Amino acid sequence: METLANIPVILTKGAEWFASIGTEKSKGTKVFALTGKINNSGLIEVPMGTTLREIIFDIGGGIRGGKKFKGVQTGGPSGGIIVEKDLDTPISYETLVALGSMMGSGGMIVMDEDDCVVDVSKFYMEFCVDESCGKCAPCRIGTNQMQAILSKISKGKGEEADLDRLERIGKAMTKASLCMLGGSAANPTMGTLRHFRDEYMEHIRDHKCRAGKCKDLVVYSIDPEKCIGCGLCARKCPVPCITGEKKQPHVIDVLRCIKCGECFKACKFGAVLVR
Ligand code: SF4
Ligand code: SF4
Ligand code: SF4
């Protein structure tokens, strides 16, 4: 669609005009689907060479709720994460590949401090497991192996050697897969491992998910100092496992809690704690 939409403009204004926009090797404009933890999401069209910082903070209006920027996944489920230090890179086909990502489908998913890199990598790998046609072994076996390891880490059952295993399998898949699905499936995991190895290690060593996304590692509780006993969390709890008198601090029964996070979202006083 994007290609077809470019044709009438190029025919009308000429190839030279089109080639005058963009960078030396990546000409013209590019459409991105800007989404995630961003104030202004939607389809945008920018000249090649625009920086990610301009896209995220000028066009996208910055991170929702004043949260801290963590990374941006470009290129869809087979792309890679780009972090703060690389935000001023002018976007082109070549620079994205050099940063370990790609243009791909033009997807651009912005993540903030509440996103967990293990959870995100597991999500993308599950997508690749589903999409793999099974014709070649590196992709068919590799995606399943990586998904199993990521799942193990997200449950707090991983070991340090798993990180080397992920990298070894990822490299083999990238080199030996028959098509680009397997050839790029490891990108999100490899990128997050490169930039956020400490977060992987927290899951493994401390059994901790700092973003509170890996359910097996999360415990919800209520701070009695902050709780005013409004009862909103108890009304939202689907189990229900929150009790307390009106205007008195409430309590969560952790044995019955299914870790849905509804109480955390509901509380306006920051009294629900995730650790
Ligand atoms: S790399 Fe391509 S051909 Fe090989 S299993 Fe994956 S989708 Fe099929
Ligand atoms: S919503 Fe917050 S303040 Fe209200 S009862 Fe629950 S924890 Fe307490
Ligand atoms: S996380 Fe869900 S199930 Fe657990 S206490 Fe909160 S609302 Fe209830």
* Max CA separation in the chain (angstroms): 73
> What is the per-residue pLDDT for 60?
96
Distance 251 CA to ligand 3 centre (A): 11
Distance 259 CA to ligand 3 centre (A): 5
Distance 82 CA to ligand 1 centre (A): 25
Q: Is the pTM of this model over 0.85?
A: no
Is 222 a pocket residue for ligand 2 (Cβ < 6 Å)?
A: yes
**What are the structural domains of the chain?**
2-112 (3.10.20.600), 117-206 (1.20.1440.230), 219-274 (3.30.70.20)
Distance 249 CA to ligand 2 centre (A): 7
CB 44 within 8 A of CB 55: yes
> What is the per-residue pLDDT for 104?
85
Kindly give the parts of the chain with pLDDT less than 50.
none
Residues 6+ apart with CB under 8 A from 103: 30, 74, 75, 93, 96
> What is the per-residue pLDDT for 180?
92
CB neighbours (10 Å) of residue 44? 18
> What is the per-residue pLDDT for 100?
87
CB 48 within 8 A of CB 22: yes
> What is the per-residue pLDDT for 164?
97
- Which tokens is 238 given? 């689907």
Is 266 a pocket residue for ligand 3 (Cβ < 6 Å)?
A: no
Testing ligand 1's pocket by substitution, the residue of 181, 184, 187 carrying the most ligand atoms inside 8 A of its CB is 181
> What is the per-residue pLDDT for 28?
93
Residues 6+ apart with CB under 8 A from 83: 70, 71, 195
From the CA of 234, give the closest atom in ligand 2.
6
